[in-house]
Amino acid sequence: MHKYSIFFFFLLHFIFLGTSFSQSQYTMRITNGRMIDDYTYQYDVVLSSQNYFEITSYQCVFSFYCNDMNNDSFNFSYISGSSQLQNKPILGFSARQLNNKVELTVASKAQSDYLDKNILKVGTFQVKRQNKKFDYSSIFINWNFSGDNTTIVTGHLFSDITIPSDFTSDIKLTGIKNSETRVPDNYELEQNYPNPFNPSTKIEFFLKQSGKVKLYVYNLIGQKVAELINEELPTGFHNVNFNASDLASGIYIYQLKVDNKFTSAKKMILAK
């Protein structure tokens, strides 16, 4: 078990009301990315509420991408005094490198904050490279909801109020399709975001080598409902938007094939 998942299981110990997707109570947003120097990048996380609610704990896990991550190490930290919450992000800091990304983790203690239709800064966070300079144009940060270490927020009585579609990021790569800003170490299909979604979502993937790429969407009985990509693509980072406005609510499967080199599929939820 990944040692930085301890806090996640600590939260599960308190969650006895189960996951609730009854209504959206808040949004969390990654925003205001900026370079401090050639080796240091900062960004903010902002929490806004649509109505009065209580937040009792949170673990934020970010997928961080940048150019040329090979043979380098990263340090992740919180800028002291930058949070407007009573429950500060002070636990479980880590920067774990996984294939083509760095997984950044931070968590709070168990303590209540109360919001009423306002916007509060969770905090300012800093990523520092040890050996190589950042290329600002290649930086991308998004929320992580898959794997052994995931974003989770708890509300009243420590019930799970994590709704992935309510987590957004303003920090995106520009000119992503056919981008060769960095060379990935492997093939990788990312979880779509937002998920659940209505009606549009974004699917991202990495190509270790160029090849004939097919990205299709299927329903649960195996019928192809959309062809998103069917073309030769170069090495690098790619993404595509999927608009499901003409499909019914439900669970769908998107599958990526690259020649005979790589095949991967993931589940996504259309919730109208």
For every one of its 272 residues, what pLDDT tens digit does the chain have, with 9 covering 90 and above? Answer: 454 444 444 444 444 334 443 345 788 999 888 889 999 999 999 998 878 889 999 999 999 988 778 889 999 999 999 999 999 999 989 999 887 789 999 999 999 999 887 789 999 999 999 999 987 767 889 899 877 889 999 998 999 999 888 888 888 653 333 333 444 567 888 888 788 888 988 888 888 888 899 999 999 999 999 999 999 888 777 888 899 999 999 999 999 999 988 999 999 999 88
The per-residue pLDDT for 18 is 41
Residue 265: closest CA among 202, 192, 185 = 192
Residue ranges and CATH numbers for the domains of the chain are 3-169 (2.60.40), 188-270 (2.60.40.1930)
Q: What is the pTM of this model?
A: 0.60
Note whether 193 and 143 are within 8 A (CB): yes
Residue 160 · residue 15 · CB < 8 Å? yes
Which amino acid belongs to residue 69?
Answer: M
**For residue 220, what are the contacts with CB-CB under 8 A and spacing of at least 6?**
250, 251, 252, 253
Handedness of CA 28, 32, 33, 35 (dihedral sign): negative
In angstroms, the first-to-last Cα distance of the chain is 36
Q: What is the pLDDT of residue 84?
A: 94
Residue at 248: amino acid letter: A
The torsion defined by the Cα of 64, 69, 74 and 80, in degrees rounded to 10, comes to -40
